[in-house]
Amino acid sequence: MKTLPILLIFVMFFGTFFIANSYAAVAPREDPSLPQINLHLVLRNSEGQLVSYIETDFVYIKNLYLTHQYLDAIDDKTTFVEDGITYERFQWEKTEYFTSQKQLTAYGLMSKGFAILLMMHDSYISQPGDSITVFWDIIRVQP
């Protein structure tokens, strides 16, 4: 009878340990269908002063199929060959101005009404007149 509580505690402790660690899995960067995405956010106040600079190379791909459709529709791209593999590179920037106070905790790319790419970052509370300039740099294997 004493072994049941000990066994239960053992399972609860090690079960949560393995479950908690499974969420920390590294993104599969070896998959050639996954584009490499670099994103830079520049936040400025209404006077043009730099408030925050956020850079990441980890962007959550919410919908890979729509991401590739979105990239297929972009005409402004460059191609290059490395190690016998042809890649496409997409680079663009976009500036948006805030018209009201807003809490910004994520930035993403929308296509057909769906978020296809998403980057989480530290929160920033914008004020009217503040701006965000986003620099996208995406590389993928040419389909």
Question: 14-29: per-residue pLDDT in tens?
Answer: 554 444 444 444 445 5
Average pLDDT of the segment spanning 79-95: 94
Residues 6+ apart with CB under 8 A from 25: none
Q: What are the sequence ranges of the domains in the chain?
A: 36-141
Question: What per-residue confidence (pLDDT) applies to 2?
Answer: 59
pLDDT at residue 29 in the model: 54
Q: Which residue type is seen at 98?
A: F
CB contact at 8 A, 107 and 134: yes
